[in-house]
Structure 1
Amino acid sequence: VGHAKLRTFILETAKGEKRWQQHHKGTYFDVPGPDIVGPYYLVTKGTWIGVLATWMRMAPYINGVKGACYVGVLSVKEGVERMIRAIELGESFVI
């Protein structure tokens, strides 16, 4: 799941759903679980950030959010690498 060099956390929501997160330089972000297929989207600015699978999972974090920033990515690996770069440049944060 996500980037091999980053620690992965598995959280369980109140609804019993599992949620995978990774951490880089003080920033936590979501990544799809191992059996989740795309399409994948990278959200670097929104009400939550991460690499998310499907428009339906991503939309609540960006729709109607002024300054939201997102892009489609071809793979989870690409999304996580771009997220790391955005965090290091100070360009990824929760709005």
Structure 2
Amino acid sequence: QHVYNGFVYDVPLPCKTGQLYLITVGCRVGIVAGWPATSPHVVRVSHATYCKVDSLGEGVAAMLCAIDKRAACWVP
């Protein structure tokens, strides 16, 4: 986990492989590797917001932007 401006978000371990997904609103928020790890945190979650990202750097940059805009949110 990483913290930016007091907001905690997840980042995959370097050993994780697979398509990367950015989740800005969901039961888990951050960058997640692989759809099987991503889907439980966004499917059937009201207002979940997520997208594919091409790199960890792209995902982190987008996550920080979402936090700055107050668009990132953990949902129960």
Give the alignment's TM-score, normalised by structure 1. Answer: 0.76
Provide the residue aligned with 1:65 in structure 2: 45
Q: Distance in 1 between matches of 2:32 and 2:20?
A: 6
Percent sequence identity is 35
| Amino acid corresponding to residue 54 of structure 1 in structure 2 | G
Other-structure match for 2:6: 26
| CA–CA separation in structure 2 for the residues paired with 1:29 and 1:38 | 19
Hey, which of these two has a bigger chunk of strand by percent? 1
In structure 1, what is the Cα distance between the partners aligned to 2:17 and 2:40?
A: 19
2:35 aligned with 1:55: yes
Aligned-residue Cα RMSD (Å) equals 0.7
Q: Compute the displacement of 1:38 (Å).
A: 2.3
Q: Which amino acid letter does the alignment assign opposite residue 48 of structure 1?
A: R
Q: Which has the larger radius of gyration?
A: 1
Runs of 4+ in 1 over 2 A off after TM superposition: none
Distance 1:33 1:94 in 2: 20
Number of aligned residue pairs: 75
